[in-house]
């Protein structure tokens, strides 16, 4: 091997060693820098959990950036010229290798040059590469490893709100409040029990909807719409329980006339259809003894005349039994009574399922309203934030926190009956709610339950005293709400509303009349415009003069109606 080849080969070795050391140093340093971001994000996540989408975007960008950095550093190759310069500096060779390399690249016929190259080759071979470029572990690598360990440890911090990213967990896009969760569980149980009776899959659909909501695939308003669909489905094919009850009572009255069917009648009156069915079966067994059945025939005949929707099969079986008795066909009469007993059992199941569905529908409606309310509040919160108003909601946690802060209003909107009590009042158990009595648990603007007006929640339970308001058109200063109601309902306003000049500008009126303004915000908006209107003296906004109006209870007043 010539001197030139020796130098080139040796410089290539040096270049590889320098590159290896450089890569190790740069990659550990880069890793340290890059791991600051996930570590910081994880620390942040402990205070304000991030959603899966955010984390996915972040880690995708992070991985792309880190990968690009790695590729960039890996592709960065040094030259043997740089290696020669490095060796000259480190080994204090005074540009010997660099000069030799230049003469190798630019050959010339000279003894001096040959001597120079020979000397350079000799000196290069004498250099211990491991001593000149030792393989050492950079300090940054310890830091990088420490950061990785801290990152892993942070994922296992035993906090209820901490999510382990290593197991691909992240904060749900939407968090149900405890109340909503309770409603959901109750609804699911109701639906499962109803499904056992009717083989539907609504519980699974409900679970899917909530899962999508938590994953952020749908927003609360979409979830509310889907819940509404389920409610509609629950409503499909509903029995007219009132009519059925009436019909059963009529049948019971007819059956009471005969001694042997009195037990069945009593059971029907009590809506104990299973007992009634058992009684019918006993009656069928008694028919086998060829007892006289004239009275029974008449009784069944009368009962079968009470046919109405939902009871067709039962009355048909009763009629068939009556006819068979009339024809002395004991066997068929017995079969018909058995069929009637089965129909009663089926009816029992249908009615129970119906009640369960009704209850589930109620819960779904509560859940739907809760979600809509939170969506509405979220939008309002965002509007307020855009207007620079301070908000308690922050960042990713926004929705979940909104849910928490709205807990009290949701609680009141769900009614005070207590959701847990609902399970104890399921059909077939003591104190079960009567089907068809769902009037909604919210309050209308006048504070009364039910009705079609939008619900704004129950009145506050705090010990507050609302300020009595003096209404225009009233002689006295009404100190009781009843006075105000009476005045509005029974007396005709003495002021001609057509002559009342509105203080609002046309634009303000248009704004107030827009349908998209929720009705419960209208007084607020009106107060706002009244607060900012010019004072009669030509001054600025009415400001303090209108502050008293802001303490009024929210809701339409007689003046509002004008």
Partner 1 sequence: MSTAIDQQVETFQEQFKRVREEVSKVIVGYEEIIDGVIMSMLAGGHVLLEGVPGLGKTKLVSTLSDVMRLKFSRIQFTPDLMPADITGTNVVQEDAMGEKFLEFQPGPIFSNIVLADEVNRATPKTQSALLEAMEERSVTVGKRTHKLDSPFFVLATQNPLEMEGTYPLPEAQLDRFFLKLKVDYPTKDSLHTILNRTTKNKEPEVNRVLGQGEVLDMRKTVRAVPIARPVQDYAIRITLATHPRPPFALPMTYKYVRYGSSPRGAQALVIGGKIRALLKNRVHVSCDDVRAVAYGALRHRILLNFEGEAERVDTDTIIKGILESTPEPN
Q: What is the DSSP letter of 167?
A: G
Q: Coil, helix or strand for 190?
A: helix
Nearer to partner 1 (CB atom), residue 98 or residue 179: 98
Nearer to partner 1 (CB atom), residue 122 or residue 449: 122
Beta bridge partners of 171: 51
Q: How far apart are the C-alpha atoms of 309 and 314, rounded to whole Å?
A: 11
Tokens 């679970």 -> residue: 207
**Piece of the chain touching partner 1 by CB under 8 A; list 39-47, 92-100, 158-166, 475-483:** 92-100
**Piece of the chain touching partner 1 by CB under 8 A; list 90-98, 133-141, 197-205, 302-310:** 90-98
| Phi, psi of 557, rounded to the nearest 5 degrees | -120, 170
Residue of 1, 77, 111, 498 that binds partner 1 (CB under 8 A):
111
Contacts with partner 1: how many residues (CB under 8 A)? 21
| Phi, psi of 168, rounded to the nearest 5 degrees | 60, 40
Q: How far apart are the C-alpha atoms of 487 and 494, rounded to whole Å?
A: 11
Nearer to partner 1 (CB atom), residue 120 or residue 400: 120
Nearer to partner 1 (CB atom), residue 18 or residue 183: 18
Residue 250, both tokens: 């009529």
**Piece of the chain touching partner 1 by CB under 8 A; list 59-67, 97-105, 202-210, 255-263:** 97-105
Q: What is the dihedral of CA 293, 299, 301, 303, to 10 degrees?
A: -150
* Smallest gap from residue 389 Cβ to partner 1 (A): 55
Residues with Cβ within 8 Å of 165's Cβ and at least 6 positions away in sequence, in order, are 42, 45, 55, 155
Residue 277 interacts with partner 1 (CB under 8 A)? no
Q: How far apart are the C-alpha atoms of 11 and 382, rounded to whole Å?
A: 64
Residue 76 interacts with partner 1 (CB under 8 A)? no
Question: Cα 51 from chain centroid?
Answer: 13
Residue of 45, 96, 180, 317 that binds partner 1 (CB under 8 A):
96
Say what angle helices 3-47 and 111-126 make with each other, to 10 degrees: 50
Residue 530 interacts with partner 1 (CB under 8 A)? no
Residue 99 interacts with partner 1 (CB under 8 A)? yes
Beta bridge partners of 534: 541
Residue 559, both tokens: 């003046």
**Of 435-474, which residues contact partner 1 (CB under 8 A)?**
none
Residue 98 interacts with partner 1 (CB under 8 A)? yes
* Smallest gap from residue 172 Cβ to partner 1 (A): 57
Residue 82 interacts with partner 1 (CB under 8 A)? yes
* Smallest gap from residue 115 Cβ to partner 1 (A): 4
* Smallest gap from residue 124 Cβ to partner 1 (A): 14
Residue 238 interacts with partner 1 (CB under 8 A)? no
Residue 496 interacts with partner 1 (CB under 8 A)? no
Q: How far apart are the C-alpha atoms of 350 and 197, rounded to whole Å?
A: 7
* Smallest gap from residue 18 Cβ to partner 1 (A): 13
**Piece of the chain touching partner 1 by CB under 8 A; list 17-25, 111-119, 140-148, 419-427:** 111-119
Q: How far apart are the C-alpha atoms of 523 and 506, rounded to whole Å?
A: 17
CB 419 within 8 A of CB 182: yes
Considering Cα of 106, then 111, then 114, then 116, what sign does the dihedral take?
negative
Cβ-based neighbour number of residue 35 at 10 Å: 20
Nearer to partner 1 (CB atom), residue 18 or residue 333: 18
Nearer to partner 1 (CB atom), residue 106 or residue 490: 106
* Smallest gap from residue 82 Cβ to partner 1 (A): 6
* Smallest gap from residue 122 Cβ to partner 1 (A): 10
The percent of the chain in helix, strand and coil, each rounded to the nearest 5, is 65, 0, 35
Q: How far apart are the C-alpha atoms of 187 and 193, rounded to whole Å?
A: 10
Residue 112 interacts with partner 1 (CB under 8 A)? yes
Residue 91 interacts with partner 1 (CB under 8 A)? no
Residue 103 interacts with partner 1 (CB under 8 A)? yes
Closest CA to 302 of 258, 368, 268, 336: 258
* Smallest gap from residue 216 Cβ to partner 1 (A): 54
* Smallest gap from residue 81 Cβ to partner 1 (A): 6
Residue of 24, 58, 59, 102 that binds partner 1 (CB under 8 A):
102
Q: How far apart are the C-alpha atoms of 460 and 202, rounded to whole Å?
A: 35
Residue of 20, 71, 76, 95 that binds partner 1 (CB under 8 A):
95
Nearer to partner 1 (CB atom), residue 118 or residue 552: 118
Beta bridge partners of 443: 449
Residues with Cβ within 8 Å of 297's Cβ and at least 6 positions away in sequence, in order, are 322, 325, 326
Residue 85 interacts with partner 1 (CB under 8 A)? yes
Nearer to partner 1 (CB atom), residue 83 or residue 171: 83
Nearer to partner 1 (CB atom), residue 2 or residue 505: 2
Nearer to partner 1 (CB atom), residue 12 or residue 94: 94
Tokens 């003046």 -> residue: 559
CB 265 within 8 A of CB 253: yes
> Which residues are near partner 1 by CB under 8 A?
81-82, 85, 94-96, 98-100, 102-103, 106, 108, 110-113, 115-116, 118-119
């Amino acid at each position: 091997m010539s001197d030139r080849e020796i130098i080139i080969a040796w410089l290539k070795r040096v270049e590889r060693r320098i590159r290896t050391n450089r890569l190790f140093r740069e990659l550990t340093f880069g890793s340290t820098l890059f791991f600051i971001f996930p570590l910081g994000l994880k620390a942040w996540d402990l205070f304000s959990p991030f959603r899966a989408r955010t984390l996915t975007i972040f880690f995708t960008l992070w991985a792309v950036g880190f990968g690009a950095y790695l590729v960039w550093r890996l592709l960065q190759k040094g030259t043997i010229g740089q290696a020669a310069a490095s060796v000259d500096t480190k080994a204090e060779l005074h540009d010997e290798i660099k000069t030799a390399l230049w003469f190798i690249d630019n050959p010339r016929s000279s003894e001096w040059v040959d001597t120079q190259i020979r000397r350079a080759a000799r000196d290069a071979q004498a250099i211990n590469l491991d001593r000149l470029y030792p393989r050492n572990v950079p300090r940054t690598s310890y830091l990088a490893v420490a950061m990785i360990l801290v990152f892993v440890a942070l994922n296992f911090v035993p906090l209820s709100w901490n999510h382990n990213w290593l197991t691909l967990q992240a904060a749900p896009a939407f968090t149900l409040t405890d109340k909503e969760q309770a409603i959901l569980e109750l609804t699911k149980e109701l639906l499962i029990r109803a499904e056992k009776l009717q083989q539907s899959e609504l519980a699974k659909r409900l679970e899917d909807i909530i899962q999508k909501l938590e994953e952020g695939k749908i927003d609360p308003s979409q979830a509310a719409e889907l819940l509404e669909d389920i409610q509609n489905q629950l409503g499909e094919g509903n029995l007219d329980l009132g009519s059925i009850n009436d019909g059963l009572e009529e049948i019971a009255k007819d059956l009471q006339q005969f001694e042997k069917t009195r037990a069945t009648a009593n059971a029907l009156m009590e809506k104990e259809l299973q007992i009634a069915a058992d009684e019918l079966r006993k009656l069928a067994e008694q028919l086998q003894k060829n007892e006289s059945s004239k009275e029974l025939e008449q009784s069944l005949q009368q009962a079968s005349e009470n046919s109405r929707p939902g009871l067709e099969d039962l009355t048909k079986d009763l009629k068939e039994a009556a006819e068979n008795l009339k024809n002395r066909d004991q066997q068929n009469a017995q079969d018909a009574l058995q069929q009637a007993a089965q129909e009663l059992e089926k009816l029992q199941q249908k009615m129970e399922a119906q009640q369960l569905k009704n209850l589930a529908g109620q819960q779904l409606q509560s859940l739907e309203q809760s979600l809509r309310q939170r969506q509405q509040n979220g939008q309002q919160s965002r509007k307020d934030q855009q207007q620079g108003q301070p908000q308690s909601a922050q960042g990713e946690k926004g929705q979940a926190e909104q849910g928490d802060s709205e807990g009290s209003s949701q609680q009141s909107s769900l009614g005070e009956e207590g959701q847990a009590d609902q399970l104890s009042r399921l059909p077939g158990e003591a104190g079960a709610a009567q089907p068809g009595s769902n009037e909604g648990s919210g309050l209308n603007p006048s504070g009364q339950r039910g009705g079609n007006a939008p619900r704004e929640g129950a009145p506050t339970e705090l010990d507050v005293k609302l300020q009595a308001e003096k209404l225009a058109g009233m002689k006295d200063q009404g100190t009781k709400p009843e006075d105000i109601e009476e005045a509005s309902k029974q007396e005709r306003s003495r002021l001609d509303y057509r002559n009342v000049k509105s203080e609002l500008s046309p634009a303000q009126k248009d704004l107030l009349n827009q349908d998209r303004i929720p009705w419960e915000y209208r007084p607020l908006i009106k107060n706002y415009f009244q607060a900012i209107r010019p004072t009669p003296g030509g001054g600025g906004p009415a400001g303090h003069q209108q502050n008293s109006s802001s303490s009024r209870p929210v809701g339409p007043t007689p003046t509002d109606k004008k």
